[in-house]
Structure 1
Amino acid sequence: MDISRAGVEPAVVKFYRQYMQQISDVTYPPGNLLVKQDVQDSLYKYFFDGSQNKFLPPPRYQARILKRIIEEIEKSCRDPDQDQVSDRLMEHMGYLATIPRQPDSDEAQQMLVHSYFPPLPLDEPGVRPVLIKEARNLLSRGTNVGLRTWEAALHLGWYLTVQRPDLVRDKTVFELGAGTGFLSLLCAGQLGAAHVVATDGLAHVCDILQANVDLNRDNYNGSGSGSGTGPGTGPDPGTSSLFRAPEVRLLDWTDRPELDRVIAEAKASGVRYDLAIGADITYHPDILRPLAELLGVLKDHFPGMAILISATIRSDTFAQFTSICRNEVGFKVVELPCNIPDGLRCSGLFHSVATEIKIVSLER
């Protein structure tokens, strides 16, 4: 559903985008706005009415948000005859209270659909989210790291959308360690890539990646009442044609024969890779050299290819990776500025930058 077409204030649109992404620290609109009956009607329709949107957040998250909304409305009521919490919001709060609460450990492992809206103007109509089914609250380790979207992917997604969409539009994109597929799907949809190859080294992660590709294909084609398309409305003619489903491929960075096949197939079909991307893929020391060498091989075969790597700096592995790229593979490592604004100017792909996130370009 496209809340920007409802004529609500930008603060409500931003609130909706945060809510659908299911972030913890949403920015609530002011109480004097929430108390308006037309705003409350929009809140019920877009935030809580499951018949309008099948990708709503889970009941526990809805209840936490709705409880705060009701508190803010009640604090802002000035005229008892005019100002009140709408019956539909109160009834939905009562309904949510009847749903049994799951144990925290079970809830953390649930695969739920999150809607990631790109950082486009809050009054722009037809903005479609990237839909990702994932376990965002799972404590990821080992083979679980590909089951959630990490902050470095959102950071790179923001950079590509706001600062360098030209690197993607009508280009061929190759993603390494794609995980849930967020970046590949953003490139294939909103950013208008000509073709995207999304790779990961784990078969079960590729299965999840393919499921997310199918989910977004269906949403763009209007075959469900998702957060991008309302029931019965069909696809948005301004955006549905942009989505070209990414190709999902299993790729172990140490499997040189498979890499050679990928390159040979691309050349045989006339494909030239224009951009290689990777986010939070430098977390383990054992994979740094194979990754750097693989990027070197790709650059040898596609000299015009840009390479962007994004990483949250949690240890010294990223420094080790860039050192290998510089000293052993012959790359020039260039750090790219990515300055995300505060307030209403930050309109999508919400993520914390409390821990430093870097984006580098590998050039030669």
Structure 2
Amino acid sequence: MSVASEELVQLRILQRQYLQLVEPSQLRWPDAQVLKRPEVQAWIFLHMFDGSSIKSPPPERYQLRVLKLLIAKLERSIVDPEEDEISDDLMSAMSTLLTSNVPSEADSAQQKAFVTYSYPLHSADDSASEDQAVTLLEARSVISGSGTTGLRTWEAALLLGSYLSSEDGRRIIKGKRVFELGAGTGVISILCAKHLGAAGVVATDGDEAVVDAIKTNLFLNGLDVDNSDGCQVRTAALKWGWPVDATAFSEDYGMEVPNVLLGADVTYDKTVIPRLVSTMNEFLDLNPTLEVLISATIRNEATFETFLNACRRNGFRFEQLGFPPVPEPEQAGPFYPTTTPIQIWRVTKPEAARGDPFAV
């Protein structure tokens, strides 16, 4: 017996949460009566715990936590052992993990792990939707030992990715040259190159270690320069506030002047905003028709107001896009908390506008 389409929708959401390493207590499980069916257990094993079929699995500690939850749910759902039973494959997977040298929770939190973010492409039948997946090697601790925040993916990037995957967003990226500021893990640049039809992409960050990590993530997604037969993603270290040389742009970045400038979670620190706005100004001077999108998690309203004020003083026009975060219980991928406001802003520069690029 095959898995019903409405059940498959639930299972695919569970699978996406699992591959994104969503906290196990927040996983959205199908109903217990659905979980205990043999074909459903077989699907879960094949798509979540079969080591031979999952290219970039979650860390073993996380797998074990989720499996324990699943087995406990199955045990509670079985009334008649003669009628229902727990899959041998699932039990074997848990036994293997229990007897392996799984690192402690503290050690596991400090190690880099595969994290897969999925942006579903919905068809008329949701169960047949395809996933636009981006797999990254991330440091899951909030701030890495080197003091950078760029080795994990933040909520503002996930919302920006959702917008760019929408019908309106795809029109912005398809066939365009894309330049990303503060790329962090590279999730947005990879999404644009791998799934959204960008003509070329440059992912930049001010931290050399972060740029090196982006190169690893490009390789994981088949976008490294040597192996890509489609859109290639170039990487570069870029310090905000420095002049951008139009004559040497192609030589410096391997791409002509961009059509689209993106930034996600780049307004979190008041002290860097003057340099950020200066760099935005440089790019808008290079291409007055440049499409600039800035996605921001508003952790501190005063800090974000500093960014808007800097934009005003430079004569920029800006508008908030009507693309709010999806409420957490309704998210189908990617998954992110919505307790703190997340906004996407479009920034443009009228031709006559001339201001102090470092004004705040």
TM-score grouping bracket, smaller chain normalisation: 0.7 to 0.9
1:158 aligns with 2:162: yes
Change (3 A) 1:21 1:267: closer
1:299 is aligned to 284
**Distance (Å, rounded) in 2 between the aligned partners of 1:59 and 1:186:** 27
Change (3 A) 1:263 1:27: farther
Change (3 A) 1:354 1:164: same
2:303 is aligned to 317
1:248 aligns with 2:206: no
1:177 aligns with 2:182: yes
TM-score, length basis structure 2: 0.86
Change (3 A) 1:251 1:218: closer
Aligned-pair RMSD on alpha carbons? 2.8
1:135 aligns with 2:175: no
User: Alignment length, in residue pairs?
Assistant: 339
Q: Does the 8 Å contact 2:234/2:253 carry over to 1?
A: no
Q: What SS is found at the alignment partner of 1:333?
A: strand
**Distance (Å, rounded) in 2 between the aligned partners of 1:113 and 1:23:** 12
Shift in Å at residue 12 of structure 1? Answer: 0.2
Q: Deviations over 1:287-345 (max 9, x none)?
A: 10111011011111111111011111112222101110112x11112111223445786
2:61 is aligned to 60
**Distance (Å, rounded) in 2 between the aligned partners of 1:130 and 1:292:** 29
Change (3 A) 1:147 1:262: farther
Shift in Å at residue 16 of structure 1? Answer: 0.4
Q: How does 1:215-234 map to 2 (within 5 A)?
A: 215-217=220-222
1:149 is aligned to 153
Q: Does the 8 Å contact 1:180/1:212 carry over to 2?
A: yes
Shift in Å at residue 263 of structure 1? Answer: 6.0
* Greater RCO, CA 8 A, separation 6+: 1
Q: How does 1:62-81 map to 2 (within 5 A)?
A: 62-81=63-82
**Distance (Å, rounded) in 2 between the aligned partners of 1:75 and 1:310:** 44
**Distance (Å, rounded) in 2 between the aligned partners of 1:209 and 1:28:** 33
Change (3 A) 1:343 1:260: closer
1:361 is aligned to 346
Q: What SS is found at the alignment partner of 1:147?
A: coil
2:352 is aligned to none
Q: How does 1:1-364 map to 2 (within 5 A)?
A: 9-24=8-23, 25-121=26-122, 122-124=126-128, 126-140=130-144, 143-162=147-166, 163-217=168-222, 243-256=230-243, 259-260=244-245, 264-265=249-250, 271-315=256-300, 316-327=302-313, 329-342=314-327, 346-364=331-349
Q: Deviations over 1:75-94 (max 9, x none)?
A: 22244222111111112112
Q: Deviations over 1:186-219 (max 9, x none)?
A: 1111111111111111111111011111111179
**Distance (Å, rounded) in 1 between the aligned partners of 2:8 and 2:273:** 47
Q: Deviations over 1:81-115 (max 9, x none)?
A: 22111111112112211234434443222111111
Provide the identity percentage.
36
Shift in Å at residue 139 of structure 1? Answer: 3.3
Q: What SS is found at the alignment partner of 2:221?
A: helix
